[in-house]
Structure 1
Amino acid sequence: MTTAADIMHHGARWIPATETLDRAAQLMRELGVGALPVSDPRDPGERMCGIITDRDIVVRCIAAGHDPSRVTAGDLCQGTPRWISTDATVEDVLREMESHQIRRLPVIDDNKRLVGMISEHDLALQLSDDQLAQFVERVYA
């Protein structure tokens, strides 16, 4: 049985909620990623308060006329962060991503530590064409 740990991208990195969006964008560029989990300021690097994406920075900050050097990652975090455990099945991953219409999912180990991220790309490497088409239809609907 294939698990979340088998398909995730290892080495996900946090960004503190207090960090500015210009620094978040720089870190995304350095890491070659489009999203970063944001750590809760009450428990830095241990507890997630959300995720920010490159699209969030552009649409919700820059296009809205805000200065990314003055807006923090925590300012953009909304709602309840979603995650999945390392031992979850691919079906569990799909269900979580589809039901919440999200494209990236942090993976947490038994000690509740961030160990990876699952993206659409990671799923595309694992799913059949039909499964992938169904996933895209449900997430982008």
Structure 2
Amino acid sequence: MESLKISDYMNRHPVTFTTDMTVAQAVELFLKAKQIGGPVIDEHRHVIGFLSEQDCLKKMIEATYLNEYHDVVGDVMHLEPLTVHANGSVLDIAQQMTHAKPKIYPILDENEQLIGVINRSDVLRAIDNQLKSMYEKGHTRMV
């Protein structure tokens, strides 16, 4: 099976967040982008955390009960998110995703700066493309 590189299937324009952004602002970005999670980055595009829709949902429910809404992304983000590098293998991520690992991974370059994300749909698309290609090659040999 040919190598499936992360860089060939990643989203190069993901929604990102900063620690001082309000949760309400983050929710607006999630809704516009239809992305389920995203990296929290610093001014140098280093990934310092990860924010999910679920994190925001929890805070929004609390805000509804408390009738106040002042949380920022830095208060609710996950620290030390799992990241991958662009030259890594899609199949390796696929293996990790079969367990209770994240559904979306920030992708870093050689300087440890964010260059994109990859999610389960991207991984499924990569594997599906690979399998279709293998089938077509095998099918044409038989004819």
TM-score (norm 1): 0.75
Matched position secondary structure for 1:122: helix
Identity of aligned residues (%): 19
Aligned position for 2:51: 52
Q: Structure 2: which 5+ runs fail to align?
A: 129-143
In the alignment, does 2:23 pair up with 1:5? no
Aligned position for 1:91: 91
Count, aligned residues: 125
The C-alpha deviation readout for 1:21-80, integer Å capped at 9, x for no partner, is 1000111222232212112xxx4242212111112111x212234678411111112342
Matched position secondary structure for 2:48: strand
CA distance 1:55–1:124, change in 2 (3 Å): same
The 8 Å contact of residues 51 and 76 in structure 2, kept in 1 or not, is answered as yes
Aligned position for 2:59: 61
Paired with 2:18 and 2:87, the residues of 1 have a C-alpha distance of 26
| Structure 1 consecutive aligned stretches of length 4 or more whose deviation exceeds 6 Å | none
The 8 Å contact of residues 97 and 120 in structure 2, kept in 1 or not, is answered as no
CA distance 1:100–1:67, change in 2 (3 Å): farther
Query: Which residue identity is paired with 1:48?
Result: V
Q: Structure 1: which 5+ runs fail to align?
A: 129-141
Counting helix residues as a fraction of each chain, which structure ranks higher? Answer: 2
CA RMSD for the aligned pairs?
2.4
Aligned position for 1:126: 126
Q: How much has 1:96 moved relative to structure 2?
A: 4.1
The 8 Å contact of residues 20 and 70 in structure 1, kept in 2 or not, is answered as yes
CA distance 1:6–1:110, change in 2 (3 Å): same
Paired with 2:108 and 2:121, the residues of 1 have a C-alpha distance of 19
